C-alpha cells in the first residue's frame, strides 16, 4: 500500500482532521485506523440520550462520506510504530507505510485506584462497548452509585434517574464540577439534580465497593446494585511511548502538534500541548490546530 | 422540504460549542449542500463539531 497520511484513531479529532484536509484539497491517500468497528460516532451522546432513551449515538459523518472523500478505513489495532522505516504494524502483523502519521488515539476512562477494595466492580463509560455493558446492567438496576461528580457522572446520574433508578453521587471535592464550572453554576446544577431526586455525598471518599454497597471513608454505607466510576480519563499513549516518543501524561507536542519524532503528529486527547505559563502544558480534546497549519503536509 | 425563505443567507451558531452554520456554505460533509436554508435542515441533522441536535442551535446576529 502506498505511503500517505495515516491517522490512528477514528474518533472526533481524527475524522475532523481528515475532513478538513480533504476540504483543503489535500490529495494524498488518507487511511483511518480504529480498533472500534462501529461507524465513527459522537462520543458525547453516550452519557446523554444513548443512556436515557437507548438510542444509538449520532454518526460523525454520513456512512458514504469516507468513500466519497477517498478515505480508507481499517478496523484494526496498531501495535507498533517503526518510525525509522515510517511504518506501522497492526494487529495480525500487517504493516502499513506512512509518510505522515497522526496519532489521535484519544483517552480511556480512568478506573478507581487498584488498591481500593472492589475497584474492579465499578463500570466506566467511554465507548460503545462500555455503553452496551452499562445499559444491560441499568435494565435491572435499582440502586446506582456514581463515583465522581463531574460532567459525565452527572449526565449519567440524570439519565438513570429518568428510568426511576435510585441514584447517589459521591464526589471527593467540596463541590460538583470543580474542573469545569464556577461554584455558583455548580450549585445550580446540584439544585436541579437534587430536585430530580439524586442524593449527593460531597467531600466524601470511597473506602470500598462490593456487589451490594459502597462504603465511604466516614463510615456511611450506600446500598447499590450498580456502581459506575466517572473519575476522568487518561491518554492512550502506550503506542507512542513504545516508539520512544516523548510523553508525560500525554504525547508531548509542539504548537503545530509535532511530536519528538519526524513525520509523527499527535492531536486531541492523547496529546499534551504547550501552554505558555504552564510548565506541563495542557491536554484537551479540542486541541487540533491543524487546519491553519498545513505547511507540514505535502499536498502533491 | 419547507418553502424557501427569501433574502440574505443567514448564519446560525451552536449554543453548545459555537460551531457556525452558514446557509450559504451548508454542511457538505453532512449532506447539506451550499445554500441549504435552516428550515430545510432535517431535524435529525447533528452539529458536526459537538453532536448537538438542530434544536440546540440559535440564530446569531449577523453584522
pLDDT-based confidence at residue B60 (cuts at 50, 70, 90) = confident
Of A45, A58, A61, the CB nearest to B29: A61
In the structure, what pLDDT confidence band is assigned to residue A290 with cuts at 50, 70 and 90? very low
CA distance A21 to chain B (A): 12
Cβ <8 Å between B51 and A65: no
B51 contacts in chain A (CB < 8 Å): 42, 44-45, 57-58
- Arithmetic mean of pLDDT over chain A: 92
CA proximity to A282, closest of A234, A238, A244, A250: A250
* Res A283: pLDDT: 79
Strands (E), A83-183: 87-90, 95-97, 100-103, 107-109, 143-147, 166-171
What percent of chain A has pLDDT above 90? 87
Average pLDDT over residues A256-268: 95
In the block, residue with C-alpha cell 464526589: A171
SS3 label, residue A53 = coil
Phi and psi angles of residue A87, each rounded to the nearest 5 degrees, phi first: -145, 140
Give B63's pLDDT tier (boundaries 50, 70, 90): very low
Q: Which residues of A touch B42 (CB under 8 A)?
A: none
Q: What percent of chain A has pLDDT over 70?
A: 94
Query: Which residues in B lie closer than 8 A to residue A69 (C-beta atoms)?
Result: 29
pLDDT tens-digit series, residues A214-239: 999 999 999 999 999 999 999 999 99
Q: How far apart are CA A297 and CA B50, in angstroms?
A: 26
Q: Measure in Å the smallest separation between the Cα of B30 and chain A Cα atoms.
A: 6
Kindly tell me if the per-residue pLDDT of A297 is higher than 80. Answer: no
In the prediction, which pLDDT does A58 show? 92
Instruction: Look at residue A287 in the predicted model and tell me its pLDDT.
Output: 61
- The pLDDT score that the predictor gives to residue A292 is 40
- Chain B residues whose C-beta is within 8 A of a chain A C-beta are 29-31, 44, 46, 48-51
Helix ranges (H only) for A42-107 are 49-52, 65-68
Q: Which of B18, B27, B50, B51 to mutate to test the interface with A (most CBs of A within 10 A)?
A: B51
Given a cut of 60, is residue B2 above it in pLDDT? no
Position A293 confidence tier, pLDDT thresholds 50, 70, 90: very low
> Which chain A residue has the Cα nearest residue B46?
A58
Residue of B nearest to A66 (CA): B29
Residue A178 has pLDDT above 90, yes or no: yes
Which has more pLDDT, B6 or A187? Answer: A187
The answer to whether A19 contacts B30, with C-beta atoms less than 8 Å apart, is no
B29:A57 CB<8 A: no
Q: What is the mean pLDDT of residues A135-163?
A: 97
Give the pairing of strands A233-235 and A251-252: unpaired
Give the closest residue to A35 by CA, choosing from A132, A104, A133. Answer: A104
Question: Confidence band (pLDDT; 50, 70, 90) for A252?
Answer: very high
Which residue out of B27, B44, B48, B56 would a mutagenesis test of the A interface target, given it has the greatest number of A Cβ atoms within 10 Å? B48
- Contacts B30 to A, Cβ<8 Å: 61-62
Residue A161 has pLDDT above 70, yes or no: yes
Answer whether A42 sits within 8 Å of B31, measured CB to CB: no
The SS3 call for residue A16 is: helix
pLDDT 10s digits, A180-206: 999 999 999 999 999 999 999 999 999
pLDDT in tens, B22-35: 999 999 989 999 99
DSSP 3-state of A204: coil
A8 grid coordinates: 490512528
Q: Residue with C-alpha cell 472492589?
A: A118
C-alpha cell at A167: 441514584
**pTM to 2 decimals?**
0.88
pLDDT band at A288 (very low <50, low <70, confident <90, very high): low
Cα–Cα distance measured from residue A268 to residue A102, given in angstroms and rounded to the nearest whole number: 11
pLDDT at B49: 86
Which of B48, B49, B51 is the closest to A45 by Cβ?
B51
pLDDT in tens, A69-105: 999 999 999 999 999 999 999 999 999 999 999 999 9
Whether residue B1 has pLDDT greater than 60: no
Chain B residues within an 8 Å CB radius of A42: 46, 50-51
Across the interface, of B30, B50, B51, the residue whose CB is closest to A62 is: B30
Cβ-defined contact of B51 to A42 (cutoff 8 Å)? yes
Amino acid at each position: 500500500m502506498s505511503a500517505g497520511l495515516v491517522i490512528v484513531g477514528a474518533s472526533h479529532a481524527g475524522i475532523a482532521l481528515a475532513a478538513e484536509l480533504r476540504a483543503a484539497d489535500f490529495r494524498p491517500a488518507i487511511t483511518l485506523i480504529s480498533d472500534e468497528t462501529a461507524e465513527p460516532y459522537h462520543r458525547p451522546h453516550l452519557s446523554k440520550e444513548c443512556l436515557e432513551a437507548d438510542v444509538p449515538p449520532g454518526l460523525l459523518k454520513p456512512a458514504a462520506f469516507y468513500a466519497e472523500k477517498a478515505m480508507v478505513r481499517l478496523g484494526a489495532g496498531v501495535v507498533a510504530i517503526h518510525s525509522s522505516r515510517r511504518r506501522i504494524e497492526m494487529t495480525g502483523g500487517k504493516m502499513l507505510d506512512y509518510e505522515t502519521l497522526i496519532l489521535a488515539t484519544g483517552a480511556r476512562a480512568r478506573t478507581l485506584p487498584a488498591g481500593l477494595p472492589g475497584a474492579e466492580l465499578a463500570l466506566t463509560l467511554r465507548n460503545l462497548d462500555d455503553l452496551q455493558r452499562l445499559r444491560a446492567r441499568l435494565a435491572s438496576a435499582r440502586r446506582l452509585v456514581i463515583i465522581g461528580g463531574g460532567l459525565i457522572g452527572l449526565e449519567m446520574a440524570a439519565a438513570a434517574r429518568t428510568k426511576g433508578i435510585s441514584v447517589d453521587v459521591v464526589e471527593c471535592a467540596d463541590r460538583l464540577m470543580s474542573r469545569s464550572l464556577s461554584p455558583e453554576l455548580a450549585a445550580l446544577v446540584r439544585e436541579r439534580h437534587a430536585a430530580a431526586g439524586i442524593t449527593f455525598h460531597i467531600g466524601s471518599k470511597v473506602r470500598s465497593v462490593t456487589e451490594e454497597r459502597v462504603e465511604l471513608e466516614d463510615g456511611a454505607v450506600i446500598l447499590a446494585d450498580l456502581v459506575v466510576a466517572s473519575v476522568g480519563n487518561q491518554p492512550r499513549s502506550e503506542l507512542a511511548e513504545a516508539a520512544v516518543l516523548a510523553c508525560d501524561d500525554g504525547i508531548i507536542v509542539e504548537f503545530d502538534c509535532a511530536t519528538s519524532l519526524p513525520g509523527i503528529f499527535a492531536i486531541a486527547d492523547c496529546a499534551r500541548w504547550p501552554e505558555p505559563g504552564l510548565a506541563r502544558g495542557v491536554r484537551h480534546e479540542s486541541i487540533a490546530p491543524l487546519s491553519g497549519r498545513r505547511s507540514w503536509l505535502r499536498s502533491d | 422540504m419547507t418553502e424557501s425563505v427569501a433574502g440574505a443567507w443567514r448564519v446560525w451558531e451552536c449554543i453548545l460549542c459555537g460551531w457556525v452554520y452558514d446557509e450559504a456554505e451548508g454542511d457538505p460533509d453532512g449532506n447539506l449542500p451550499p445554500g441549504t436554508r435552516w428550515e430545510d435542515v432535517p431535524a435529525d441533522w447533528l452539529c458536526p463539531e459537538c453532536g448537538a441536535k438542530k434544536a440546540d442551535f440559535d440564530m446569531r446576529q449577523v453584522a
